[in-house]
């Protein structure tokens, strides 16, 4: 047994500061935020060919409040792609975190991210399936008379992109990562507003989803590259 000498000049405030600094260094070593963002970005971009060449199914049709005729359409392959892709992404991220934590002798709570992510996928997938079977236009839901604008928000919430945003909130909480929280708020704003920068392919039914996925995937990609660059000095070997 060894005895570590203690400096009597250290007051409780200094010890607390030192302890907080140690906790922050441990948290930084645990983080692989860049990997999570890049994997989720890759899953988003890979969805583009899946949705483009997938068979489409029409569910309900009707007359919107603004007139005309519209139908709810969903991608058959997309219904299967997103749950499988996101579950594999979450497990891949978790495996990297666990192996890295074991190599460094540090505990990790990344399993909570996987558990929460799977639950979110199930809920959002069920919501998406329900949303595309709603009547077009105004809907009376649980006594609430939902207008077309509210339905548009509902359709954006019931998407894999929203599921990704909520899972990143869980990861930010696990990592105590304020920067990731800020990035996720920006990402959710892009998902829910939605922001298209004037890019519109509504006249092409085969590609009308493209601006949304490209912008969402690019936000994740840029954020992942930024986190990777920011974390590089932490992994440089001591000279």
pLDDT tens string 57-71: 656 665 665 555 556
| Structural domain contains residue 5 | no
Rounded to an integer, the average pLDDT of 41-57 is 86
Neighbour count for residue 151 (Cβ, 10 Å) = 20
Rounded to an integer, the average pLDDT of 158-178 is 91
Does 149 or 129 have the greater pLDDT score?
Answer: 129
Tokens of 165: 């945003």
| Structural domain contains residue 1 | no
What's the predicted TM-score (pTM) here? 0.75
Buried b (16+ CB within 10 A) or exposed e, 184-200: beebbebbbeebeeeee
| Structural domain contains residue 99 | yes
| Structural domain contains residue 227 | yes
| Structural domain contains residue 13 | no
Share of the chain above pLDDT 90, in %: 32
Total domains present in the chain: 1
Residue 56 DSSP label: E
| Structural domain contains residue 239 | no
Domain ranges, residue 138: 30-231
pLDDT, one tens digit per residue, over 186-204 is: 999 999 887 777 676 555 6
Using alpha carbons only, what angle is made at residue 14 by residues 26 and 237, rounded to the nearest 5 degrees? 35
pLDDT, one tens digit per residue, over 89-121 is: 999 999 988 888 777 666 677 888 889 999 999
Q: What are phi and psi of 72, to 5 degrees?
A: -85, 125
| Structural domain contains residue 79 | yes
């Amino acid at each position: 047994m060894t005895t570590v000498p203690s400096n009597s000049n250290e007051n409780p405030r200094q010890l607390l500061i030192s302890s907080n600094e140690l906790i922050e260094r441990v948290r930084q070593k645990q983080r692989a935020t860049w990997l999570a963002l890049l994997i989720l970005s890759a899953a988003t971009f890979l969805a583009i060919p899946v949705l483009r060449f997938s068979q489409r199914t029409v569910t309900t049709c009707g007359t919107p409040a603004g007139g005309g005729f519209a139908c709810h359409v969903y991608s058959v392959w997309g219904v299967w792609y997103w749950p499988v892709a996101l579950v594999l992404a979450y497990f891949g991220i978790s495996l990297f975190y666990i192996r890295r934590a074991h190599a460094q002798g540090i505990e990790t709570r990344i399993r909570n991210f996987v558990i929460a992510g799977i639950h979110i996928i199930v809920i959002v997938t069920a919501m998406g399936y329900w949303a595309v079977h709603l009547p077009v236009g105004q809907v009376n839901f649980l006594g609430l008379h939902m207008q077309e604008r509210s339905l548009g928000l509902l359709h954006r919430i019931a998407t894999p992109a929203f599921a990704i945003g909520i899972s990143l909130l869980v990861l930010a909480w696990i990592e105590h990562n304020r920067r990731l929280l800020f990035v996720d708020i920006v990402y959710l704003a892009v998902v829910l507003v939605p922001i298209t920068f004037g890019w519109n392919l509504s006249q092409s039914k085969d590609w009308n989803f493209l601006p949304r996925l490209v912008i969402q995937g690019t936000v994740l990609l840029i954020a992942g590259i930024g986190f990777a660059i920011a974390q590089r000095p932490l992994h440089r070997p001591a000279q």
